[in-house]
Amino acid sequence: MRVRFAPSPSGQLHVGNARTALFNWLLARGRGGTFILRIEDTDAERSTRDSEAAIVRDLRWLGLDWDEGPDAGGSHGPYRQSERLHLYESYAQELLNADAAYYCFCSTAQLEVERQEALAAGRPARYAGTCRRLSRDQAQARIAAGERPAVRFRVPENRDVVFTDAVRGEVRFHTDVIGDPVIVRADGHPAYNFAVVVDDALMEVTHVIRGEDHISNTPRQILLYEALGFSLPAFAHLALVMGPDHSPLSKRHGATSVAEFRSKGYLPEALVNYLALIGWSPRGSTHGRSAGDDAELVPIDEMAKRFALEDVGHSAGVFDEEKLAWVNRHYLKIADPIRLAELSVPYFNEAGIRMAPDARGLEFLASAMTMASASVDRLNQVPARLALVFDYDAAATLGDPHVRDEMQNDGARAVVRALAEELASAPRLDRDRFRAVANQLKTRTGQKGKALFHPIRLALTGRAEGPELDLALPAIDRGAELPADAGMPKILGNRERAAAFVAALDRVVD
How many CB atoms are closer than 10 A to CB 253? Answer: 17
Nearest by Cα to 139 from 151, 126, 122: 151
Taking the complex as a whole, how short is the minimal distance between the CB of residue 5 and ligand GLU, in angstroms? Answer: 7
CA 105/CA 326 separation, integer angstroms: 57
The dihedrals phi and psi of 24, each to the nearest 5 degrees, come to -65, -45
Alpha-carbon distances of 368 from 203, 365, 436, 498, rounded to whole Å = 50, 5, 21, 21
Min dist CB 16 to ligand GLU, Å, is 10
Considering beta carbons, is residue 40 or 68 the nearer one to ligand GLU? 40
Any idea what DSSP says for residue 217?
G
Least Å distance between CB 397 and ligand GLU? 54
**Ranges within 172-201 binding ligand GLU (CB under 6 A):** 196
Q: Which stretch binds ligand GLU (CB under 6 A): 4-12, 28-36, 166-174, 493-501?
A: 4-12
The residues near 391 (Cβ < 8 Å, ≥ 6 apart) are 353, 462
Residue 392 to residue 493: CA distance in whole angstroms: 10
Give the amino acid at 189. Answer: H
Choose one: 2-10, 133-141, 451-459, 488-496; the region binding ligand GLU (CB under 6 A).
2-10
Is 253 a residue that touches ligand GLU (CB under 6 A)? no
Cα(492)–Cα(353) distance, integer angstroms = 14
6 is a contact residue toward ligand GLU (CB under 6 A): yes
Q: Single out the segment in contact with ligand GLU by CB under 6 A; choices: 1-9, 112-120, 175-183, 295-303.
A: 1-9
Instruction: Answer yes or no: are the C-beta atoms of 12 and 258 closer than 8 Å.
Output: yes
> Is residue 462 near ligand GLU by the rule CB under 6 A?
no
Based on the shown chain and the rule CB under 6 A, indicate whether residue 341 belongs to the binding site for ligand GLU. Answer: no
Is the CB of 84 or the CB of 378 nearer to ligand GLU? Answer: 84
CB of 311 vs ligand GLU, minimal distance in Å:
21
- Residue 282 CB: number of other CB atoms within 10 A? 18
Backbone Cα Rg of the chain: 32
Q: Looking at beta carbons only, is 41 or 269 nearer to ligand GLU?
A: 41
Please, what is the minimum distance in Å from the beta carbon of residue 9 to ligand GLU?
9
Burial of 442 (0-12, 13-18, 19+ CB in 10 A): middle
Q: How far is CA 242 from the centre of its chain?
A: 15
Which residues have a catalytic role annotated?
251
Q: Say how far apart CA 16 and CA 402 lie, in whole Å.
A: 48
**Closer residue to ligand GLU, CB minimum distance, 196 or 240:** 196
Decide: is 7 part of the binding site for ligand GLU (CB under 6 A).
Answer: yes
- Most distant CA atoms of the chain, gap in Å: 109
Q: What's the min distance (Å) between Cβ of 61 and ligand GLU?
A: 19
Chain-centre distance for alpha carbon 266: 8
The residue among 242 and 475 lying less far from ligand GLU, judged by its C-beta, is 242
3-state secondary structure of 14: strand
Residue list 309-338, contact with ligand GLU (CB under 6 A): none
- Smallest distance from ligand GLU to CB 63, Å: 21
Q: Which of 29, 210, 264, 497 binds ligand GLU (CB under 6 A)?
A: 210
Closer CB to ligand GLU, 155 or 196, in the complex: 196
Q: Taking a C-beta distance cutoff of 8 angstroms, is the pair 276, 19 a contact?
A: yes
Residues 26-55 that bind ligand GLU (CB under 6 A): 40
Cα distance between residue 487 and residue 480, in whole Å: 13
Pick the closer one to ligand GLU by CB: 210 or 495. 210
Q: Using the rule CB under 6 A, give the single segment among 5-13, 243-251, 287-295, 322-330 that binds ligand GLU.
A: 5-13
Helices (H), 278-399: 300-306, 321-334, 337-350, 359-373, 382-390, 394-398
User: Residue 410, Cβ neighbours under 10 Å: how many?
Assistant: 10
Q: Tell me whether residue 210 or residue 478 sits nearer to ligand GLU (CB atom).
A: 210
Q: Which is nearer to ligand GLU, 7 or 474 (CB)?
A: 7
Can you spell out the DSSP letters for 407-449?
Answer: HTSHHHHHHHHHHHHHHHHSPPP-HHHHHHHHHHHHHHH---T
**Minimum distance, C-beta of residue 217 to ligand GLU, in the bound complex (Å):** 7
Least gap, CB of 43 to ligand GLU (angstroms): 9
Q: Which stretch binds ligand GLU (CB under 6 A): 6-14, 23-31, 236-244, 464-472?
A: 6-14
Least Å from the CB of residue 10 to ligand GLU: 9
Applying CB under 6 A, which of residues 8, 51, 256, 381 lies at the interface with ligand GLU?
8
Q: Which amino acid is at 355?
A: M
| Region for 32 from its dihedrals, namely left if φ exceeds 0, alpha if ψ lies in -120 to 50, beta otherwise | left
- Segment 213-252, which members bind ligand GLU (CB under 6 A)? 214
Size of the site for ligand GLU (CB under 6 A): 7
- Site for ligand GLU, rule CB under 6 A: 6-8, 40, 196, 210, 214
